[in-house]
Amino acid sequence: MDHDHNFKNLILDYPQQALELFAADEATFIDNDARIVPIRQEQLKERLGERFRELDVPLLVQWPDGRHEALLFVVEEESQAGRFNIHRLAHYSLDLAELFETQRVVPVVIFLRGKGAPRELVLGGDRHTYLTFDYFACELASLPAEAYRDSDNLVARLNLPNMAYQPEDKLTIFGQALRGLLDLEPDAERQAKYLDFIDIYSELDDNELRAFEQRYAEEVAAMTAFAERYTRQGFRQGFQQGLEQGMQQGAAAILIHQLRVKFGALTERQRERIETADIDTLLTWAERILTASSADEMFD
């Protein structure tokens, strides 16, 4: 799973809400008048053969009226705390400070899993310290999901499955994340994009999905209605693109996902039929799912 890619998309799609969650203390003064723009990840090199340093998302926050000096956030997602390299982050932050001629740089690291990453880099001798570097750390697994379950911050709601909660609350957390997406994001394409995000990090098995459907009928109905609406808007175009690009596997995966959303878990036979069908058959089934009352009816 490419967690870096998932979080980079999330931060670029919702930069202000991302900073409000991942760098809460420093984001206090970011209001609706501020302009947040991603910047090009190009640093100066002393020699052309040097390795290019790149992290996930540098964001520049600017206030057009000049009330505050521009603030540069350096945001890095790290799936496992044990893999984090503080020297690399320090190098990169100094590179950007030099490139943009600013000392207002906020390094931010989002830890998806685990603890124990070094929090400070100190360089010095026996008598003096000459360089101290630290960063803002957001350990998602340590954030209490209960504190964010009704938040109007969409990034927080989408990340509920990555936060701390009791095992018996797993379905509730999934439902609150889903409800946040449906309530806070009006765009159908963004809804489809981040429905996958919730699904990936919730990791519901088939039994949990069936239990969710029984206990949260309202959310399932909303999700089904969304799936049908999105299907009408985009399925034919998506499948046609898949045909042009030879992406039969991608088209099959989309159909399997939509069937799970509408009808629940698939049998092994149903999954096998979809995965081995040609693109024309997949397109036909994708149209039938709009009116079918069961998976079997779609196949028939």
Q: Determine the pLDDT at residue 127.
A: 94
Tokens 């909660």 — which residue? 165
Region 2-7: mean pLDDT is: 84
More confident residue, 252 or 21: 21
Q: Determine the pLDDT at residue 39.
A: 81
Band of residue 28 on the pLDDT scale cut at 50, 70, 90: confident
For the chain, the maximum distance between any two Cα atoms, rounded to a whole number of angstroms, is 80
CB 105 within 8 A of CB 72: yes
d(CA 72, CA 32): 17
CB 115 within 8 A of CB 134: no
Band of residue 297 on the pLDDT scale cut at 50, 70, 90: confident
Residues in CB range of 85: below 8 A, 6 or more apart: none
d(CA 293, CA 270): 15
229-265 pLDDT, tens digit per residue, is 554 444 445 445 544 444 566 677 778 877 887 888 7
42-70 pLDDT, tens digit per residue, is 544 555 455 544 556 789 999 887 778 88
- Cβ burial, residue 14 (10 Å; 0-12/13-18/19+): buried
Q: How many helices (H) and strands (E) does the chain have?
A: 12, 7
Cα–Cα separations (whole angstroms), residue 69 to 21, 177, 225: 22, 35, 46
Q: Is 37 in a helix, a strand, or coil?
A: strand
Question: 38: which 2 tokens?
Answer: 């991603």
Question: 84: which 2 tokens?
Answer: 């984090």
Q: Determine the pLDDT at residue 244.
A: 47
92-115 pLDDT, tens digit per residue, is 899 888 888 889 999 999 999 888
Residue ranges of the alpha helices (H) in the chain? 3-13, 15-22, 86-99, 154-158, 170-184, 188-202, 206-215, 217-245, 248-263, 268-276, 279-288, 295-299
Assess whether pLDDT exceeds 60 at residue 227. Answer: no
Q: Determine the pLDDT at residue 120.
A: 95
Question: 123: which 2 tokens?
Answer: 């360089």
206-226 pLDDT, tens digit per residue, is 888 888 878 877 777 766 665
Q: Determine the pLDDT at residue 245.
A: 46
Region 264-272: mean pLDDT is: 82
- Which of 251, 271, 264, 255 has the alpha carbon at shortest distance from 223? 264
Q: Determine the pLDDT at residue 214.
A: 80
More confident residue, 271 or 43: 271
Q: Output phi, psi for 75, to 5 deg.
A: -105, 125
140-185 pLDDT, tens digit per residue, is 999 999 999 999 999 999 999 999 999 999 999 999 999 999 899 9
* Alpha carbon of residue 285 to chain centroid: 29
Q: Output phi, psi for 131, to 5 deg.
A: -150, 130
CB 92 within 8 A of CB 55: yes
- Which of 74, 201, 200, 202 has the alpha carbon at shortest distance from 137? 74
Q: Determine the pLDDT at residue 41.
A: 56
More confident residue, 66 or 90: 90
Band of residue 201 on the pLDDT scale cut at 50, 70, 90: very high
> Left (φ > 0), alpha (ψ -120 to 50) or beta: where does 92 sit?
alpha
